[in-house]
Structure 1
Amino acid sequence: MYAITGITGKVGGAVASQLLAAGLPVRAVVRDAVRAKAWAERGCEIATARMEDAASLSAAFDGATGVFILPPSDFDPEPGFPEARAVIEAVSMAILKARPAKVVCLSTIGAQAGEANLLTQRTLMEAALRELPIPVTFLRPGWFMENAAWDVAPARDHGVIASFLYPLDKPVPMVATADVGRVAATLLRQTWRGVRIVELEGPQRVCPNELASAFALVLNRPVRAEIVERQTWETLFRSQGMRHPLPRMRMLDGFNQGWIDFEGHPDGIIHGEVELEAVLRELVSSAI
């Protein structure tokens, strides 16, 4: 039995779909059983749990061959990341009590960075799970191609995408969520000892100018990328409702300045199969 958290999202759903396609039993770990109805219809066992509740999580993980941990993302965290720390404590306690055979945890590119930023939430999770007497794999994907969903409307309507990543010709490791789910499912079926790190990106790196060109191809209209100047970020993010924009700003700084990157040798990075154009076509289709 494979216990999958985050199954109602793109990555968790992709993990579960891969396992079900292989004929393996899946337990959907969800906050709301109603939202998981489609997964129950596909043959999943349903376990209700909250990611910050150790008791419900340990029950959901009990007897599992493998557990996939998809920590909830907080894009506007309080100082010190208290929300993430509550989840980390609950997940750690649940794993320690349930003692699944192995754990695959979705982490991120740059989890090893020493500078505090939005991704530090994953750094903290890695630090905690490393201490457990359970085989753990941290899957560190690059920038999700699906983040381009925010760019569909301005690209379609105005022929411009705003880029917080620059220079505009600097390639960034990007990956499709389908590849993340596929690789995570493969890792869950493997056997290993101790802690290992697996880094994942797409078939090739993509710079903002190439993202704009891909949109132009999909939309059949000219599209260009424009830099959002660093000095405008805080005001912009606060106008969008963020209370604590600094972690997000520092994450973007990390990509732009190069201290958020993969840790291992380039030859050891896994490359996905899904091309950016395919992701953009799906995003554009969904937005119609």
Structure 2
Amino acid sequence: MYTIIGASGKTGSILSKQLLNAGKKVRVIGRDEKTLKGLLDLGAEAAVIRDNSDPKLSKALSGSKVVYVLIPNFLPESDDFRAFQNEQVDHIVNAIKNAVDIENLVVLSSWGAENERGVGPVEGLHYLEQQINANFSGKVKSIVYLRVGNFMENLDPIIKEFVGGNGVVSDPTLPEIHIPFISTRDIGVHAARVMLDIDSYKGINIKEIQGAEDLTMLQVTEILSKHYNRPNASYIVISLEQLESRLLKFNFTPSSIQLMKDVYIALNNGTFKFHEKRSKSNSTDITFKQYLVDFDKLNSN
């Protein structure tokens, strides 16, 4: 059995479909049966777990050849998102402890997760890795951490502002900083490859997934300019104070704003980095140009 936590999410849904298409028995875990229906129609078994503290999560994880582990994505309205992350990690670790016959763990993480401090919400993924190692190293056959680059989906607000505005991209990232952007679809595809090949992994493994390309925000702006025929497009570096003013308009809490500031500081000073040289094995397929084509289709209405 291949068990997917967060199966209705952007990576989990793609991963689940890949495994089902490969003929595997898949158990999908989500908060709402309606969001899992498409996967059920493809042959998956569902477990509706509305909260990671639910004791039923342990039963849903039991008997798994592999469990795909992830924690909730960033919640800007949270008064203390870091505390929330740690709480979610503790719930999931407890559920795995109380489950029986789990053979392997594949864990969604991020570049920068080797850092305990100064990387914003990625600190929660550092905590996740540390807790998984402390509790399950030597107790399962393998643990594989998927350290992925920046989600292309994080650029969606910038794309919408660019299209609806005057062709300006504004962001605190310095223009010379290269960022490894990756689509969540590619994450799901590569996670499936790892899970289907799980017998080749032993012990603790860190697998970098760097996306299709490294881009500066200047290059992002150039691609947007050509794609949307805005020849006079420009990129403006804004201050962290300007970022704060912008995020307040979107109901970010003070603690969430500080986490985002930490992310940009870490990006600009080089704290966020991959340690492997880019190669065919750690790269993916979907470029930002291709992503924009899909973005336009999804937002055509």
1:282 has 2:294 as partner:
yes
Residue number in structure 2 paired with 1:156 = 163
1:39 has 2:42 as partner:
no
Residue number in structure 2 paired with 1:7 = 7
1:281 deviation in Å? 1.4
Structure 2: gaps spanning 5 or more residues: none
How far apart in 1 are the matches of 2:61 and 2:144? 16
Structure 1 residues 75 and 162, CA gap change in structure 2 (3 angstroms): farther
* TM-score, normalised with respect to structure 1: 0.93
What does residue range 118-267 of structure 1 map to in structure 2 within 5 Å?
118-131=121-134, 132=136, 133-134=139-140, 135-157=142-164, 158-166=166-174, 168-189=175-196, 190-191=198-199, 192-222=201-231, 223-243=233-253, 244=255, 245-262=257-274, 264-266=275-277
How far apart in 1 are the matches of 2:212 and 2:242? 33
Structure 1: gaps spanning 5 or more residues: none
1:164 deviation in Å? 2.7
CA RMSD across the alignment: 1.8
Q: Secondary structure at the match of 2:28?
A: strand
1:12 deviation in Å? 0.9
Structure 1 residues 154 and 79, CA gap change in structure 2 (3 angstroms): closer
Q: Select 1:272's aligned residue among 276, 284, 287.
A: 284
Q: Secondary structure at the match of 1:205?
A: strand
The code of the aligned residue for 1:81 comes to: R
1:146 deviation in Å? 1.8
Preserved CA contact (<8 Å) 2:177 2:267? no
1:162-212 deviations in Å (ceiling 9; x for gaps): 22321x232111111121111111111222222111111122201111111
Q: Secondary structure at the match of 1:68?
A: strand
Structure 1 residues 66 and 145, CA gap change in structure 2 (3 angstroms): same
Q: Percent identity?
A: 22
1:286 deviation in Å? 1.6
Preserved CA contact (<8 Å) 1:152 1:287? no
The code of the aligned residue for 2:148 comes to: P
Q: Secondary structure at the match of 2:179?
A: coil
The code of the aligned residue for 1:111 comes to: A
What does residue range 41-120 of structure 1 map to in structure 2 within 5 Å?
41-76=41-76, 77-79=78-80, 81-98=82-99, 99-116=101-118, 117-120=120-123
Q: Secondary structure at the match of 1:220?
A: coil
Q: Secondary structure at the match of 2:92?
A: helix
1:13-56 deviations in Å (ceiling 9; x for gaps): 11112111211121110111122111111111001114521512
The code of the aligned residue for 1:90 comes to: H
1:200-235 deviations in Å (ceiling 9; x for gaps): 112220111111121122222233322222232223
How far apart in 1 are the matches of 2:105 and 2:131? 13
Report the number of matched residues. Answer: 286
Q: Secondary structure at the match of 1:284?
A: helix
Q: Secondary structure at the match of 2:55?
A: helix
How far apart in 1 are the matches of 2:51 and 2:88? 6
How far apart in 2 are the matches of 1:114 and 1:257? 16
Q: Which moved more, 1:42-51 or 1:270-279?
A: 42-51
Preserved CA contact (<8 Å) 2:3 2:29? yes
1:90 deviation in Å? 1.4
Structure 1 residues 27 and 266, CA gap change in structure 2 (3 angstroms): same
Preserved CA contact (<8 Å) 1:144 1:174? yes
